[in-house]
A and B are shown apart, each in its own frame.
Chain A
Amino acid sequence: MDSNKKYWKGLEELQQTPAFVEKSKGEFAESIPVEEVLNEAGLSTKTPRRDFLKALGFGVGAVTLAACNRTPLHKSIPYLIKPEEVTPGIPNFYASSFNGQSVLVRTREGRPILLEANPAAQGLNCGTDAGTQAAVLDLYDQAKLQGPKFHGTDTSWDELDTQVVTALGSAAAAGKQIRIIASTVNSPSTIAAVARFTEKYPTTRLIEVDAVSYSGITKANQQSFGKAVVPQYRFDRADVIVSVAADFLGTWVSGEEHTQQYISNRDYKSLKKGRMSRHIQFEGGMSLTGSNADVRVAIKPSEEGPLLIALYNAITGGSLPGGLSSNSKAQTALKLVAQELRQAQGRAVVVSGANDIAIQTLTNAINVALGSYGGTIDLDNPSYLLKGDEEAFSAFLAEANRGDVDVAFFLNSNPLYYHPDAAAVKAALDKIKFKLSFADREDETASELDAIAPNHNFLESWGDAHPRGGYYTIVQPTINPVYNTRQAEQSLLIWAGDTTDYYTFVKTNWEQNILAGSSKTWKDVLQTGFEYKGDAPAGTYTFDTSGLAGVAAAITKQSQALAKDVEVQLYQSIALRDGRQANNAFLLELPDPISKVTWDNYAALNPKFAESLGLGENSVVEVEGENGYKVILPVLMQPGQAMGTVSIAIGYGRTKVGKAGNNVGQNAYPFAKIVNGTLQFNTTAKLNKASGSYELAQTQTHHTIEGRNIIRETTFAKYKEDPSHNTGRWSDSHKTYDLWDKYEEPGHKWVMAIDLNACTGCGSCIVACSVENNVPVVGRDEVRRRREMHWLRIDRYYTIEQEGESYTEEDEIGRLEDLENVSVVHQPMLCQHCDHAPCETVCPVLATVHSSEGLNHMAYNRCFGTRYCANNCPYKVRRFNWFNYWNDSRFDNYLNNEFTQLVLNPDVVSRTRGVMEKCSMCIQRIQAGKLQAKIEQRPLKDGDIKLACSAACSANAIIFGDANDPNSEVSKALRNERVYYVLEELNVQPGVGYMTKVRNTFEA
């Protein structure tokens, strides 16, 4: 049976706007006026045919003359003394870590070119998010400082050291305070270095404060259980997951770790065993997690607290006042959810995203009632990724204002950008005698301070991390420091009069503390990249419910304060997060998983709500916060957004981060507020329509597949009855006819299986693909012209959930009133490597041809840019190079300089203007894997070759391998009943199989 559900990529498609209909006809946004030039009327146009021919003739002549030069002389400069471990042309891998994620750094001739998840750390904190994948570009950032600075002028380290030591000395002599303000420090060695510094200057204190705070959880746990930590959540142990506005698969605490756990109960292997968890999400803005939920209910931020109160009452039979009274849909869902949760005692978890002590305390109460502690929530092996405490920072500001602080250092900390009240911070800082930043660039804070002692990039540093209980990772350098920078910890040691070099310091610290009593040596750790000491046993936790009435009262009060006409929810975007990597062009161009917007933040509004405010597509709106802060933001019509709410991403609007990231979007941090000592992202605002219009660079309806049945979706109940439900396999019921002979693939046949149930849409694969394959960044204007170059995109489809109605026709969907209840499917789309590829047939120069291994090859040097192939591709995955993006001053924010070009993968050519390109299935990796097997004279094993996208995928949603090997993982996956091929009815015989999306919905 064919699906009767209709999917749409954006409101333009849903409403069939004239612009959409016009654009959907062509593969390219602007067609080339060939016919106009060539017909008779063309003679009277601005560029008549004769002029054209003249230009052509002159052009050919000029080019010929220009080409008549001597063959350029190529120098070949070998190493003078070759390091033993380097063989030119062969990559070296080093274990390191980024944000606590254990990674392998791939280096070529001594320069890092790619980060990949460390496979040995499987099940720990493996996986790489988009930020980690893109982090390698940060090393080659031109905006980085080339040496230390003092009062805005370049200085030497010796001079800077003298200045700092003098300042420290006078502070110590006067008995004044010294403060180190840092974002969460979980590195044992950094802590030890700070301790060494404190020995010398006893008035020193380390103040940890993060741009995005989780102190609400920490403090709630302190109050409830006496443990001031962010616990480790174990979604793999949960059968029922309820999230109230926590984007736990994306940006909340540790998204990649959660994704792995979450998917382990939902992917094809789990489904095969008949297991699937149920996930219910209540939230205002459409988050990545919400888009993956089985049931998603839109609620306002002010309803979060009442909802949790009602949930608590329903589960425990309690009668806390202030339960949810509005939002009938949420109330209905709540009853079902409470029932589910009670049944899943011990195998359920409730998480809440609000950084509020009262709400988190209530969440703790619910989880205790559900028996989650020791099972789905682990307080004994907590997460140390986010320990920031804004109360400590506020105390520091008060100290500074009193004039007690003489010296302040800023480590990975940029409060003048992210603090809600930057002016107050600035005023306090002005009272400090000597302020220094370890920032690698003159950012918003560093540029206002006395001195900058630029820190190494993590790829140049020694270090370690302690991301969670029992688990330690190391950071090891993979390149010599590019500029005259010095590691911050080294600076602290030097200023403390300790001349130990930091490498020895880290090594000693590990040998004496972390590795003490272990059989492992420092060298073992350098090889594996981490040390896992095992989990501490779970303790028992009791919860005193007597205080809950007070908690409920606090929640009600807060919720009443929030319940205004327009409620604001600030959130971290998947790409830029807190804005630290805001100068990273890969991240700026990564489309948001939901809105598909690049290069901007925006005010996300429900279309119906926007309509009521007189706003529409491309409108701009002035948002005025509670504190009077005003910004003008473009409006994004976001289906699924709760009515009466607006979501704005933080991390944008930086002014001093570098060429690419400066003035991209608007800074939303000032909307945040500190309530009861915690930083809150739920607030209220006034919206006023602003004049003018602004077109967001969205990839939303680019490459639209015109409402054809390409998404297959079913429910878990139906799946259990019939695993192949709704796969709509064409070949089962139709006889097919081929225009072409069958291709023989005698050796390997490279194919891919994509599990739609595992893909969360996080976009890590897109960045990984861009880094591996030298995919250029094109910038905002070119994205608007539908010229983004991503070889792999993730299509996001909306569909309507409204009971009792079937939507088989587009116009029926168009009449829908409720745009709060939409569900989302993510579908990675890349070259399908069709056996009977339509693109190959139309290429006049045979630039794209089929291989005997089932791949669709693209010979760039043969292509001369007719773009016929792109027009003929049913999957719209071919990309045309309109410019030499790596060598064109118009694309200055990315590769247009020799330094940044060092990030290019030397095994893949960078394509020139006028050439078509597309996914090659990382053919360089396939070739390298085969060669390795040949050299070792052994057959190729399954798993020898990993593609960039599948290696980057924490959820294992992309499975690659050899279909001719019946025991390969991909062969097994493709034999799954859920497999279908997109547009199979065209009989192009794609090499990429998709598995149906299964939703574990409530059965009515």
Chain B
Amino acid sequence: MRNISLFFGRFAKPVSVALGLLFAVSTLQAQDAKEGETLFKANCSTCHKVFGKFLGPELAGVSERHDEAWLLKWIHNAPAMIASGDAAAVALDAQFPNAAMTAFPQLSEDNIKNILAYVKAEEGKKAAGGDAAGGAAGAGGAAAASGDASNFMIIGLVAVIALAFGVILVLNKVIRTLERVLVNSKPIIPDLTEKAPGKDYMATLKRMAKNKKLVFFTVLLLAVFLGSAGWKTLWNVGVHEGYQPVQPIKFSHQLHAGVNQIDCAYCHGGAYKSKNASIPSANVCMNCHTAITASEKYDGELSPEIAKIYRALDYNPETMEYGPNKRPIEWVRIHNLPDFAYFNHSQHVVVAGVECETCHGPINTMEEVYQYSPLTMKWCIDCHQRTEVNADNAYYEQLIAAHEQLKKGEKVTAAMLGGLECGKCHY
């Protein structure tokens, strides 16, 4: 007995160490690839794909083509390497005259190794998928296992249905029994319904119509109701709060601004410079959507919505060029100010520092954009009366009187500086 325990004792340590190491190594590799994926998407995917040429070379097989030390150096600071005259670097650069490899000084050696590991892992996955025969056996086993599970489920379901059927039968029997009881005791309960003819309703109505107070109150209520409804309707003529037209492309702000956290200014940069926030031109979409095709959601096909951008630009994904038959995307304007009102985004966004959401609402949760604010003049004026002027702006130093008040610590609102005057918005 002791021998046996000794025997196990002798083996236990190396085995457990070996197992531990094995486990550690496998998890480390997994982490590598996972972190590498994030880094790859953030830094590399703009220009590179693992499989296939993009703006830069295909990355699959990169570790075979170059040694690791060279790759580390190259990814870390490619321009320096080209400048230093490294033969491989210069040759590589010459292959892609329209795209220069950017320097990534922020990536540590580990980071780069992780990215390389991710590329390797992807290669491995493809090799696994591509090796059809080898993969089939494994896949078959898995299918068998999952088939068992589903058979069990089907049997369960059949059992539940059978049980339910039984319950229904029993209940039906009970109902029939109770009906029989009711029929037997019929004389006991008198039938009242036969005694009430339709004529009496009219009589009641006539009686009620003779009641002047009741009529007065009914009419009054009706007047109040119709009046207020009419008032509300008229008051809101031309106010399109909640207006949510169907757009030519099902563009989701919830996905772009919400999930992906893309800054508003990336697409609507005009809001910071101009009166128009401006809808981004299609080539801005293409900054990302040359690479991001959302094909994982569409069985490897291009997303039909992204395809609309491609069609608009007559874009050929093979040659990565825009064709001659471009067709503009006709968005439906949601926020319509009247022509006689002048509104300038940069005044509000840059000068006043108003957040986009203040007027456009929770845009990062909107699957489809709707008009959040009423965009009425009252709405403008309310805000002008509330909003304080940004006293740090050197421009306002010039407004002497206002400045005096600022020094006294009083509130200076947009309205006090003439923000309510007609000519500030209407010209």
- A contact residues vs B (CB 8 Å cutoff): 71, 73-82, 87-90, 744, 746-748, 847, 849, 851-853, 855, 857-862, 907-909, 920, 923-924, 927, 930-931, 933-935, 937-940, 964-965
Q: Are the C-beta atoms of B336 and A74 separated by less than 8 Å? A: yes
Q: Are the C-beta atoms of B282 and A80 separated by less than 8 Å? A: yes
Residues in B with CB closer than 8 Å to A744 are 401
Determine the residue in chain A with the shortest Cβ distance to B309. Answer: A80
Q: Are the C-beta atoms of B273 and A747 separated by less than 8 Å? A: no
Determine the residue in chain B with the shortest Cβ distance to A77. Answer: B328
Q: How far is the CA of A209 from the CA of B270 in the complex (A)?
A: 50
As a 0/1 sequence over residues 401 to 427 of chain B, the CB contacts with chain A under 8 angstroms (1 = contact) are: 110000000000000011001111011
Q: Are the C-beta atoms of B398 and A940 separated by less than 8 Å? A: yes
Q: Are the C-beta atoms of A71 and B238 separated by less than 8 Å? A: yes
Q: How far is the CA of A935 from the CA of B279 in the complex (A)?
A: 22
Q: How far is the CA of A63 from the CA of B61 in the complex (A)?
A: 74
A-B contact pairs, 8 of them (CB 8 A): A75-B330, A78-B280, A80-B282, A87-B270, A746-B401, A851-B422, A862-B422, A938-B394
Residues in B with CB closer than 8 Å to A860 are 340, 426
Q: Are the C-beta atoms of B351 and A931 separated by less than 8 Å? A: yes
Chain B: interface residue total (CB-CB under 8 A)? 55
Q: Are the C-beta atoms of B351 and A939 separated by less than 8 Å? A: no
Partner of B329, one of A78, A853, A937: A78
B313 on the interface (CB 8 Å rule)? yes
B312 on the interface (CB 8 Å rule)? yes
Q: Are the C-beta atoms of A920 and B347 separated by less than 8 Å? A: no
Instruction: Tell whether A859 pairs with B423 under 8 Å between CB atoms, given A87-B270, A851-B418, A939-B397.
Output: yes
B274 on the interface (CB 8 Å rule)? yes
Q: How far is the CA of A851 from the CA of B425 in the complex (A)?
A: 12
Partner of B331, one of A76, A858, A909, A930: A76
Determine the residue in chain A with the shortest Cβ distance to B272. Answer: A935
Determine the residue in chain A with the shortest Cβ distance to B344. Answer: A931
Q: How far is the CA of A751 from the CA of B105 in the complex (A)?
A: 57
The smallest C-beta distance from A630 to any residue of chain B, in angstroms, reads 51
Determine the residue in chain B with the shortest Cβ distance to A922. Answer: B427
Residues in A with CB closer than 8 Å to B313 are 80-81
Q: How far is the CA of A163 from the CA of B279 in the complex (A)?
A: 48
Partner of B270, one of A80, A89, A847: A89
As a 0/1 sequence over residues 157 to 194 of chain B, the CB contacts with chain A under 8 angstroms (1 = contact) are: 00000000000000000000000000000000000000
Q: Are the C-beta atoms of A852 and B421 separated by less than 8 Å? A: yes
Instruction: Tell whether A909 pairs with B423 under 8 Å between CB atoms, given A73-B245, A76-B333.
Output: no
Partner of A78, one of B282, B398, B402: B282
Instruction: Tell whether A849 pairs with B402 under 8 Å between CB atoms, given A82-B281, A89-B276.
Output: no
Q: Are the C-beta atoms of A75 and B401 separated by less than 8 Å? A: no
Determine the residue in chain B with the shortest Cβ distance to A921. Answer: B423
Q: Are the C-beta atoms of B395 and A938 separated by less than 8 Å? A: yes
Residues in A with CB closer than 8 Å to B402 are 746-747
Q: How far is the CA of A80 from the CA of B286 in the complex (A)?
A: 10
**Max count, chain B CB within 10 A of own CB: residue among A89, A857, A927, A933:** A89
B63 on the interface (CB 8 Å rule)? no
Instruction: Tell whether A77 pairs with B282 under 8 Å between CB atoms, given A853-B418, A920-B423, A939-B397.
Output: no
Q: How far is the CA of A909 from the CA of B245 in the complex (A)?
A: 27
Q: How far is the CA of A849 from the CA of B420 in the complex (A)?
A: 11
Q: Are the C-beta atoms of B399 and A747 separated by less than 8 Å? A: yes
Q: How far is the CA of A908 from the CA of B340 in the complex (A)?
A: 9
The smallest C-beta distance from B327 to any residue of chain A, in angstroms, reads 8
Residues in A with CB closer than 8 Å to B278 are 78, 87-89
Q: Are the C-beta atoms of B340 and A909 separated by less than 8 Å? A: yes
Q: How far is the CA of A938 from the CA of B392 in the complex (A)?
A: 10
Q: Are the C-beta atoms of A87 and B328 separated by less than 8 Å? A: no
B146 on the interface (CB 8 Å rule)? no
Instruction: Tell whether A87 pairs with B281 under 8 Å between CB atoms, given A746-B400, A861-B426.
Output: no
Q: How far is the CA of A861 from the CA of B417 in the complex (A)?
A: 23
Residues in A with CB closer than 8 Å to B333 are 74-76
Residues in B with CB closer than 8 Å to A933 are 395
Instruction: Tell whether A937 pairs with B393 under 8 Å between CB atoms, given A81-B283, A89-B276.
Output: yes
B275 on the interface (CB 8 Å rule)? yes
The smallest C-beta distance from A940 to any residue of chain B, in angstroms, reads 6
Q: Are the C-beta atoms of A87 and B273 separated by less than 8 Å? A: yes
- B contact residues vs A (CB 8 Å cutoff): 238, 240, 245, 269-270, 273-276, 278-284, 312-313, 322, 326, 328-333, 336, 338-342, 344, 346-347, 350-351, 392-395, 397-402, 417-418, 421-424, 426-427
Residues in B with CB closer than 8 Å to A858 are 422-423, 427
Q: How far is the CA of A937 from the CA of B394 in the complex (A)?
A: 5
Q: Are the C-beta atoms of A81 and B322 separated by less than 8 Å? A: yes
Q: Are the C-beta atoms of A78 and B238 separated by less than 8 Å? A: no
The smallest C-beta distance from A574 to any residue of chain B, in angstroms, reads 30
Residues in A with CB closer than 8 Å to B274 are 87-90
Determine the residue in chain B with the shortest Cβ distance to A964. Answer: B400
Partner of A747, one of B269, B282, B344, B401: B401
Residues in B with CB closer than 8 Å to A861 are 338, 340-341, 426
Determine the residue in chain A with the shortest Cβ distance to B402. Answer: A746
Determine the residue in chain A with the shortest Cβ distance to B350. Answer: A935
Determine the residue in chain A with the shortest Cβ distance to B422. Answer: A859
Q: How far is the CA of A908 from the CA of B245 in the complex (A)?
A: 29
Instruction: Tell whether A80 pairs with B395 under 8 Å between CB atoms, given A746-B401, A747-B401, A909-B427.
Output: no
Q: How far is the CA of A80 from the CA of B276 in the complex (A)?
A: 17
Q: How far is the CA of A71 from the CA of B347 in the complex (A)?
A: 29
**Max count, chain B CB within 10 A of own CB: residue among A87, A860, A862, A933:** A87
Q: How far is the CA of A862 from the CA of B398 in the complex (A)?
A: 32
Contacts beyond the supplied A78-B331, A909-B339: 8 A-B pairs with Cβ under 8 Å: A74-B333, A74-B336, A80-B282, A852-B421, A858-B422, A924-B427, A931-B351, A933-B395
Q: Are the C-beta atoms of A939 and B275 separated by less than 8 Å? A: no
Partner of B346, one of A79, A82, A924, A935: A935
Q: How far is the CA of A862 from the CA of B273 in the complex (A)?
A: 30
Q: How far is the CA of A17 from the CA of B16 in the complex (A)?
A: 122
Determine the residue in chain B with the shortest Cβ distance to A78. Answer: B279
Q: How far is the CA of A939 from the CA of B417 in the complex (A)?
A: 15
Q: Are the C-beta atoms of B332 and A76 separated by less than 8 Å? A: yes
Residues in A with CB closer than 8 Å to B281 are 78-82
Q: How far is the CA of A965 from the CA of B399 in the complex (A)?
A: 10
Determine the residue in chain B with the shortest Cβ distance to A862. Answer: B422
Determine the residue in chain A with the shortest Cβ distance to B327. Answer: A80
Residues in A with CB closer than 8 Å to B312 are 80
Residues in A with CB closer than 8 Å to B240 are 71
The smallest C-beta distance from A835 to any residue of chain B, in angstroms, reads 15
Q: Are the C-beta atoms of B350 and A908 separated by less than 8 Å? A: no
Instruction: Tell whether A855 pairs with B401 under 8 Å between CB atoms, given A80-B281, A934-B393.
Output: no
Determine the residue in chain B with the shortest Cβ distance to A71. Answer: B240
Q: How far is the CA of A71 from the CA of B332 in the complex (A)?
A: 13
The 8 A-B pairs of least Cβ separation, nearest first, read A746-B401, A857-B423, A89-B274, A82-B281, A859-B422, A89-B276, A747-B399, A79-B281
Q: Are the C-beta atoms of B326 and A80 separated by less than 8 Å? A: yes
Q: Are the C-beta atoms of A931 and B329 separated by less than 8 Å? A: no
Determine the residue in chain A with the shortest Cβ distance to B418. Answer: A852
Residues in A with CB closer than 8 Å to B332 are 73-76
The smallest C-beta distance from A176 to any residue of chain B, in angstroms, reads 44
Residues in A with CB closer than 8 Å to B347 are 931, 934
Q: Are the C-beta atoms of B398 and A852 separated by less than 8 Å? A: no
Q: How far is the CA of A927 from the CA of B281 in the complex (A)?
A: 28
The smallest C-beta distance from B204 to any residue of chain A, in angstroms, reads 40
Q: How far is the CA of A74 from the CA of B347 in the complex (A)?
A: 24
Q: Are the C-beta atoms of A927 and B336 separated by less than 8 Å? A: no
The smallest C-beta distance from B236 to any residue of chain A, in angstroms, reads 12
Q: Are the C-beta atoms of B399 and A80 separated by less than 8 Å? A: no
Q: Are the C-beta atoms of A77 and B423 separated by less than 8 Å? A: no
Determine the residue in chain B with the shortest Cβ distance to A911. Answer: B340
Q: How far is the CA of A97 from the CA of B336 in the complex (A)?
A: 39
Q: How far is the CA of A908 from the CA of B395 in the complex (A)?
A: 25
Partner of A935, one of B238, B245, B351, B417: B351
Q: How far is the CA of A923 from the CA of B418 in the complex (A)?
A: 14
The smallest C-beta distance from A559 to any residue of chain B, in angstroms, reads 57
Residues in B with CB closer than 8 Å to A852 are 417-418, 421
